[in-house]
Structure 1
Amino acid sequence: MTLGSPLLSAIPGLRHGFFTRDGGVSGGIYESLNGGIGSNDDPGHVAENRRRMAQQMGVSPEHFLGVWQVHSPDAVVATGPWPGRSRPRADAMVTRTEGLAIGVTAADCGPILLVDPRARVIGAAHAGWKGALTGVLESTIDAMEQLGAERAGIVAAIGPLIRQNSYEVGAEFVDRFTLADAANAPFFIPSSREKHAMFDLAGFIRMRLENAGVLMIDDVGIDTYSDQRFFSYRRSVHRKEPDYGRHVHAIVLEHE
């Protein structure tokens, strides 16, 4: 049901997981462990899937937190369950509260899990191309530092995401990145189609982390588009499916 990062798995008092699509109750295009509250799946199925994920993370469902993701650069601090049914609009969370699992949903975008083992501060970021370009990783690191972390001590893991050989983009996409910084050009290689290129999202994420001072980085190396164990937004579009499932990728500090 989950995959792990060797770097994060070696840290005591920490639990994490990059969940696959296996082990849930959803059917059809959502088969089976769909955690997407924003999908059109049966809400009861999504709730049961999230309960199972919370159980695997060792927390109660109300301590299995997510945010309302909007492809922003914004990170929020979590200290306990969100009040009522509200979820803050953001794309990353950080906490130093033990027993509080923070997770992001993704279906091609990059899930990034972070921890400073010494300060016992964790973070989870949803880094699609827009969030990565506009600073969600830097915001997450800044928010972790506000809780006592030091960026030189942070360990990060890049989870399953769409990889370069599956991620074709148009010329305007390339222009957006190269106009922002000419140093972004190496993350694109020519496509077989004219005026198109293949984008290395994972490499771009790693570069942003390294430039922000995070040097201990793991990458599970999995392509969500080509690996059928994972939901993929782009694959669903190519198959002309009406919707797609979402994965949850989460991290929690265990009680000492």
Structure 2
Amino acid sequence: MLEIITSPALTTRHGFFTRKGGASSGIFAGLNCGTGSSDQAEIVAINRTRVAEAMGLGPQALVTVHQVHSADAIPVTGPLADRPQADALVTATPGVLLGVLTADCQPVLFHDAAAGVVGAAHAGWRGAVDGVLEATIDAMERLGAQRANIHAVIGPTISQAAYEVGPEFFDRFRDEDPETTRFFANGQGDRLLFDLPGYGQWRLRAAGVGHAEWTGHCTYRDAARFYSFRRTTHAGEADYGRLISTIRL
């Protein structure tokens, strides 16, 4: 059985999928939807079909992009001939299933119920700093959304307690905006702990969305439910699965 996390803040069909209920095995065991992983392509296709069907659509309706930690958001109206490089998608077309892949980074789903516009963004620290969340909002506005009416929900992502960074990481944020120091806590020695979902919510609210929240799920701490790039790295494993988050009208 698939496990789908949802939020009452999003009043259209959506889901932050966990790794449960998939066909992958080994280090990918579960619902690995990452075509960029070394998992068997036909197994990943089965997993992605299960996701689309759980959202009431066929596999051809699921649209994803080649994510590159950019601040690029693109509008889509149907299946893409290829996978362009971008990290967010928006649509006002019913029946198009937007999807983003993550394994510690933030999956962010957006909805303006009044305008009938949705969006999905992959927002790691780099994409968030460079403005992928704001770019998604801007792209939604070009389709008729109003940012004050947009609800944005951050799904399972790495929590502050598990996100250890070095002083150079802290310096980059402080130098860009001293206010961001609030998202760091002291760790061991010169290490610090970064609050990625807190930072994401701050950026969303500063951009003027009507509502922003995090579901509260940590990808690193719950190996039974979530894939995690950082956990895989610490374990010395060769690769890792990708979680998928989806939204549609």
Whether the 8 Å CA contact 2:201–2:213 is kept in 1: the answer is no
Instruction: Tell me the equivalent position of 1:7.
Output: 9
Structure 2 gap segments, 5+ residues each: none
Residue pairs, 1:21-32, within 5 angstroms: 21-32=19-30
Contact preservation (8 Å) 1:6, 1:218: no
* Match of residue 105 from structure 2: 109
Q: In structure 1, list runs of 5 or more residues that go unmatched.
A: none
Q: How does 1:1-256 map to 2 (within 5 A)?
A: 1-8=3-10, 11=11, 14-83=12-81, 86-192=82-188, 194-228=189-223, 229-253=225-249
Alpha-carbon shift at residue 196 of structure 1 (Å): 1.2
C-alpha displacement at 1:7, in angstroms?
1.2
Provide the C-alpha distance between the structure 1 equivalents of 2:57 and 2:92, rounded to a whole number of angstroms: 15
Kept in 2: contact 1:209–1:215 (CA 8 A): no
| Contact 2:110 2:119 (8 Å CA) reproduced | yes
Q: Report the number of matched residues.
A: 246
> What are the superposed Cα offsets for residues 102-132 of structure 1, whole Å, 9 maximum, x if unpaired?
0100000000000000000000000000000
Contact 2:104-2:229 at 8 Å conserved across structures: yes
The one-letter code matched in structure 2 to 1:4 is T
Could you state the TM-score of these two structures normalised by the residue count of structure 1? 0.95
How far apart in 2 are the matches of 1:208 and 1:220?
Answer: 16
Percentage of matched positions with identical amino acids: 52
How far did residue 218 of structure 1 move? 2.7
Distance in 2, Cα, partners of 1:48 & 1:169:
36
